């Protein structure tokens, strides 16, 4: 195993504390607090300084949606805009947990980033969080200009559950007549919502950041008893992917969701979408926001290169 990854495992164990229950044994509210504390301590230090950071509210169908706007140095009066959807299994996570990752993307792409605090399950089960993402995408295209966002140069991205939501948002927007995005960035997304994949069988019981038990807990809280695993807006791999924007995917070889990215990349290519898939050796789930790993900077560079070429 990569020595940096071995060191990471020890760091996460020390932050979690001996005898602490795993996330899937906690009430969702307690799991959020635990994740916020652990991720904030391990993942967010350092990184680029922004020219400006603002807390904003985006009108949605159920009321205001909180978001954070990052403006990188040198962005000028107008720049591309990236709608970023954080990971966390649709249950945990926030703009806070992904603060450094979104700052890194803003600086590397030269884009203003809107990091969305979409509604979380189980208080807001499927499709409420997705509705927030769709509403935010529409708002970004229609009202981003006063915030310095060029509506003609929009990007969307997300990691893990956020990758799922980014793909589902694009499918919804295509059905609901736009807006359109120049490119999509997916970090180790959950596209299939099935546990019968080669990577889940290989790594699902290893408990290396993400496990089968955690994934099942997340899925149950997000989907409830609705039985919508085949719904393309819940599992985008099942959707008609024709016409989606150019897409770049990144995933690690130690990730239970590796197969999701491989399957989704193949389905995008079959649908005629311009797609790149980058697989990182010895990388666990969530590696792109863990900057003690050299591979995190590599992933940011590859994603930003892809995005900038399509703006």
pLDDT bin (cut points 50, 70, 90) of residue 227 is low
Q: Which residues are marked as active site?
A: 160, 255, 285
- Percent over 90 (pLDDT), the chain: 82
pLDDT bin (cut points 50, 70, 90) of residue 194 is confident
Mean pLDDT over 126-151 rounds to 97
Q: Is 70 in contact with 106 (CB distance < 8 Å)?
A: yes
pLDDT tens-digit map of 4-50 = 988 887 887 776 666 778 888 899 999 999 888 877 767 899 999 99
Q: Is 155 in contact with 102 (CB distance < 8 Å)?
A: no
DSSP for 86-114?
--STTTS--TTTTHHHHHHHHHHHT-EEE
Per-residue pLDDT at 42: 74
- pTM summary value: 0.96
Q: Is 279 in contact with 252 (CB distance < 8 Å)?
A: yes
CATH value at residue 98:
3.40.50.1820
pLDDT tens-digit map of 279-304 = 999 999 999 999 999 999 999 999 99
User: Residue 138 is part of which domain span?
Assistant: 3-308
Per-residue pLDDT at 226: 66
Mean pLDDT over 52-68 rounds to 98
- Residue 170 CA to chain centroid, in angstroms? 14
Q: How many domains does the chain have?
A: 1
Top-confidence residue, 234 or 206: 234
Letter string b/e over residues 260-288, b meaning 16 or more CB atoms within 10 A of that residue's CB: bbbbbbebbeeeebebbbbebebbbbbbb
Mean pLDDT over 237-245 rounds to 97
pLDDT bin (cut points 50, 70, 90) of residue 233 is very high
* Residue-averaged pLDDT of the chain: 94
Per-residue pLDDT at 39: 77
């Amino acid at each position: 195993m990569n020595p940096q990854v071995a060191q990471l495992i020890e760091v996460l164990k020390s932050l979690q504390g001996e005898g602490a229950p795993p996330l899937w044994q906690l009430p969702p509210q307690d799991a959020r607090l635990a994740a916020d504390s652990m991720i904030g301590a391990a993942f967010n230090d350092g990184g680029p300084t922004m020219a400006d950071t603002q807390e904003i509210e985006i009108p949605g169908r159920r009321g205001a949606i909180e978001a954070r706007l990052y403006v990188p140095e040198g962005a000028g009066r107008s720049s591309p805009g990236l709608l970023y959807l954080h990971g966390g299994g649709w249950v945990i996570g926030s703009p806070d947990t992904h603060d450094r990752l979104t700052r890194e993307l803003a600086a590397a792409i030269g884009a203003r980033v809107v990091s969305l605090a979409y509604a979380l399950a189980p208080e807001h089960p499927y499709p409420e969080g997705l509705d927030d993402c769709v509403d935010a995408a529409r708002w970004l295209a229609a009202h981003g200009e006063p915030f310095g966002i060029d509506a003609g140069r929009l990007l969307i991205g997300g990691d893990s559950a956020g990758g799922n939501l980014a793909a589902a948002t694009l499918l919804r927007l295509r059905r609901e007549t736009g807006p359109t995005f120049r490119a999509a960035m997916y970090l180790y997304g959950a596209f299939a919502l099935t546990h019968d994949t080669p990577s889940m069988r290989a790594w699902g019981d290893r408990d290396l950041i993400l496990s089968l038990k955690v994934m099942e807990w997340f899925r149950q809280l997000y989907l409830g008893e609705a039985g919508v695993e085949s719904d393309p807006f819940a599992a985008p791999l099942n959707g008609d992917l024709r016409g989606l924007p150019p897409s770049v995917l990144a995933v690690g070889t130690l990730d239970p969701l590796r197969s999701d990215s491989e399957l989704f990349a193949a389905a995008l290519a079959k649908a005629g979408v311009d797609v790149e898939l980058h697989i990182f050796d010895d990388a666990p789930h969530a590696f792109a926001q863990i900057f003690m790993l050299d591979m995190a900077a590599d992933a940011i560079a590859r994603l930003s290169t892809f995005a900038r070429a399509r703006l």
